[in-house]
Amino acid sequence: MKLYKRYLLLHIQTELEYKTSFLLTAIGQFLVSCNVFIGIYFMFQRFSTVKGYSFEECLFCFSLFLLSFSLAEMFFRGFDQFASMISNGEFDRILLRPKSLVLQVLGSKIEFTRIGRMLQALVMFVYVLLRQPIEWTILKACITVFMILGGTVLFAALFVLYATICFFTLEGLEIFNIFTDGAREFGKYPLAIYGKNILLFSTFLIPYACIQYYPFLYLTDHTTNVMVAFTPIAVLLFCIPVHLFWNYGIKHYQSKGS
Amino acid sequence: MIHVSRLSKSFKVYKREAGIYQAIHSFFQRKYERVDALDSISFDIPKGEIVGYIGPNGAGKSTTIKILSGILVPDEGECVINGYVPWKDRKEYVKKIGVVFGQRSQLWWDIPVIDSFHLLKDIYTIEPTIFQESLTELTALLDLKEILKMPTRQLSLGQRMRCEIAASLLHRPDILFLDEPTIGLDAVSKKAVRTFIKKINLEFQTTVILTTHDMQDIESLAQRIILIGKGRVLFDGTIPNLRDIVPDPKLSLEDVLVYLYQKLGI
């Protein structure tokens, strides 16, 4: 933890070196996500509901999804950019240090400019809260926190998965972005609107729905089954194979890499 | 101290001919061949020795360093250093070694050097008193006082290399691997680096394994030379020993190597 704090401070220090660049990138991130918000807004000007979900409900989904995504992107950027760490030898250096590899990869990149995207997510979230679509209880508030945390862990796990593939290909596979950036886009709406197959996929293969659709149903009183609210925990199950695959990837790298 | 026996390592190298047609072809069906980077390498190095590990480009020097420092796992052979198998006991083992890659930096680009050093203090969990002691020592020996507060990106190559070497010695390793530490340096900086390596070797009995293409490095530092080519050990001995195998005793060390490379066809 002490080491991670040191990494954090160093990254802040680095960002301070380039103030203008930091601000512009952060503003850019904010505006890009703002676009999506405007898109949703205008769509709901024409259609009052999408598959029975209201504007506020969709926006609520999107803001949580985006918040998770930007948190993961901020703190797990090292895995997102892993291909470059392998190709420039930075990963070799990490292997030479007497600390956990995951911790070092985490520490090597922290992307504070993602604060722009996060801000946009927060703006939407507050906007939704002000329009009062949800009758809040303590349990519901806890579930919201779990949704955000679960989402962050899920996206982080996807970044790790993506990084592990780099051990084998030695370069990033762009197609994998479907599951991260792509998912961020399709998380705008409750996942059920995309049909049964997508919902099955995002329940059992990559559990997006467990941090979005199912708890969302409970929050918006579409269901009263409390069990459904605890689905974010399923994300932890997803982490197990990812973790094993990562370890396997390191072994492969050490025995095959050059 | 360092025991290496019959170390072998081969890589898959993908082959393709030039041209777009071949590029498309190899996209679907890749041909590759196995290249032996190391082919049954053996040697022992006692504590406190400075060994020059030399050979032409592509001979397997970096591969050896990577295996000895635990980054890569060999296909065959054994390697025991300080009682550790480098790739098995990674975390414990790397506390005892320092590695400098001349072509790569381990310092953070945008922040003062001293901050990179403090990060290393946390990474290696160095006691504050010991850290302060090491830092004072290294600052004096490498003349770092003026440059510690400068960000890495503003340093000259010579200054940076001095900081790199200091960075890999903060935790007081028993063994120091130097992969081309003088590459691209001017005469003064080279000399500073050499003098320093000699000093720490004398003072702390640090074992040094040095790869370089600069024969002056070798002449002024190495008590022993290991020459490899095509993944095999071709010569292991002192500089006078090496001179004995060439006909003309007046050749410079550089020319001795050129003669050997050509004669052995490596």
Q: Supply the CATH number for residue B193's domain.
A: 3.40.50.300
In a domain, A44, yes or no: no
pLDDT at B22 over 60: yes
DSSP secondary structure of chain A: -HHHHHHHHHHHHHHHHTHHHHHHHHHHHHHHHHHHHHHHHHHHHH-SEETTEEHHHHHHHHHHHHHHHHHHHHHSHHHHTHHHHHHTTHHHHHHTSSS-HHHHHHHH---GGGHHHHHHHHHHHHHHHHT--S---HHHHHHHHHHHHHHHHHHHHHHHHHHHHHHHHSS--GGGHIIIIIHHHHTTS-GGGG-HHHHHIIIIIS-HHHHTHHHHHHHTTS---GGGGGGGGHHHHHHHHHHHHHHHHHHHHHHH--
- The pair of structure tokens assigned to B238 is 């002192």
**B97 with A96: Cβ contact below 8 A:** yes
Per the structure, the count of domains in chain B is 1
Distance CA B142, CA B120 (A): 18
**Per-residue model confidence (pLDDT) at position B249:** 81
Chain A residues closer than 8 Å to B90 by CB: 95, 98
Q: Is residue B216 part of a domain?
A: yes
Asked if B81 contacts B43 with a C-beta cutoff of 8 angstroms, the reply is no
Closest CA of chain A from B67, distance in Å: 9
The ipTM, to two decimals, is 0.89
Q: What pLDDT is attached to residue A50?
A: 84
Residue B23 lies in a domain: no
pLDDT, tens digit only, all 258 positions of chain A: 889 999 999 999 999 888 899 999 999 989 988 888 888 888 888 888 888 888 888 899 999 999 999 999 999 999 988 988 988 889 999 999 999 999 999 999 999 999 999 999 999 999 998 987 788 889 999 999 999 999 999 999 999 999 999 888 877 677 888 888 888 888 888 988 898 999 999 999 999 999 999 999 898 888 888 888 889 999 999 999 999 999 999 998 887 654
Residues B233 and B40: their CA atoms lie apart, in Å, by 8
**Neighboring chain A residues of B69 at a CB cutoff of 8 Å:** 96
Q: List C-alpha distances in Å: B242 to B165, B223, B232, B235.
A: 29, 12, 16, 8
Q: Of B229, B224, B192, give the one whose Cα is nearest residue B208.
A: B224
For residue A130, give every residue at least 6 positions away whose Cβ sits within 8 Å of its Cβ, in sequence order, or none: none
- Report the mean per-residue pLDDT for chain B: 91
- Domain membership of residue B30 (yes or no) is no
Contacts of B70 in chain A (CB under 8 A): 95-96
How many beta carbons lie within 10 A of that of residue B45, not counting itself? 21
pLDDT score at A257:
58
| Per-residue confidence band for B134, with pLDDT thresholds at 50, 70 and 90 | very high
Half-sphere exposure of B42 (CA within 13 A, CB side): 5
Tokens in use for B44?
């022992």
Contact A96 B108 (CB under 8 A): no
| Cβ–Cβ under 8 Å, residues A129 and A52 | no
Is residue B36 pLDDT above 90, yes or no?
A: no
Structure tokens of B189? 């900086």
Q: Do B110 and A17 touch (CB under 8 A)?
A: yes
Strands B50-54 and B224-229: parallel
Using the 8-state DSSP alphabet, how is residue B54 labeled?
Answer: E
Is the distance from CB of B13 to CB of B35 less than 8 angstroms? yes
How far is Cα B65 from Cα B71, in angstroms, rounded to an integer?
Answer: 9
Given 3-state DSSP classes, what are the helix, strand and coil percentages for chain B, each rounded to the nearest 5?
Answer: 40, 25, 35
Q: Is residue A164 part of a domain?
A: yes
SS3 B229: strand
8 Å CB contact between B228 and B64 = yes
Alpha carbons A109 and A88: distance in angstroms, whole number = 14
* Count, residues in chain A: 258
Cβ contacts of residue B29 below 8 Å, gap of 6+? none
- Inform me whether the pLDDT recorded for B181 exceeds 70: yes
Instruction: Determine the Cα–Cα distance for residues A71 and A54; give it in Å rounded to an integer.
Output: 26
Closest-approach residue (CA) in chain B for A92: B71
Residue B10, beta-bridge partner list:
B36
- Strand duo B97-101 + B175-179: pairing: parallel
CA atoms within 13 A on the CB side of A50: 20
- Residue A220 CA to residue A240 CA, distance in Å, equals 31
Full domain range(s) for residue B200: 44-106+168-264
User: For A115-169, what is each residue's pLDDT tens digit?
Assistant: 999 999 999 999 998 987 788 889 999 999 999 999 999 999 999 999 999 888 8
Q: Which residues pair with B101 in a beta bridge?
A: B179
Given its phi and psi angles, is residue A206 left (phi above 0), alpha (psi -120 to 50 degrees) or beta? beta
Band (B16; pLDDT cuts 50, 70, 90)? low
What is the Cα–Cα distance from A61 to A71, expressed in whole angstroms? 16
Which member of A3, A14, A93 has the closest CB to residue B122? A3
Query: Which residues 49-108 of B have a C-beta within 8 angstroms of A?
Result: 63, 66, 69-73, 75, 87, 90-92, 94-95, 97, 99, 101, 104, 106, 108
Contacts of A252 (CB under 8 A, 6+ apart): A167, A168
Q: Which of B63, B73, B125 minimises the CB distance to A254? A: B73
CB contact (8 A) between residue A258 and residue B151: no
Q: Which chain B residue's Cα is nearest to A17?
A: B110
Residue A79 located in a structural domain: yes
Tokens standing for residue A13: 């220090």
Count of CB atoms situated within 10 Å of the CB of B149: 11
Three-class DSSP category at A19: helix
Nearest CA-CA distance, residue B244 and chain A, Å: 36
| pLDDT value of position A34 | 87
Question: Is B182 inside a domain boundary?
Answer: yes
Residue A8 belongs to a domain:
no
Is A193 inside a domain boundary?
yes
Query: Residues B179, B22: contact at Cβ < 8 Å?
Result: no
pLDDT of residue B1: 86
DSSP per-residue string spanning B181-223:
TTTT--HHHHHHHHHHHHHHHHHH--EEEEE-S-HHHHHHH-S
Residue A41 lies in a domain: no
Q: What is the pLDDT of residue B114?
A: 96
Domain presence at residue B162: no
Pair of tokens at residue B198? 């000699």
In a domain, A5, yes or no: no
- Our count of domains for chain A comes to 1
Asked if residue A37 is part of any domain, the answer here is no
Shortest CA distance from B101: residue in chain A: A93
Rounded to whole angstroms, the Cα distance separating A156 from A168 reads: 19
Domain of A132, in residue numbers: 49-109+121-256
pLDDT in tens, B206-251: 999 999 999 999 999 999 999 999 899 999 999 999 888 888 888 8
- Cβ-based contacts of B111 with chain A (< 8 Å): 10, 13-14, 17
Confidence (pLDDT) at B2 = 95
The answer to whether position B123 is within a domain reads no
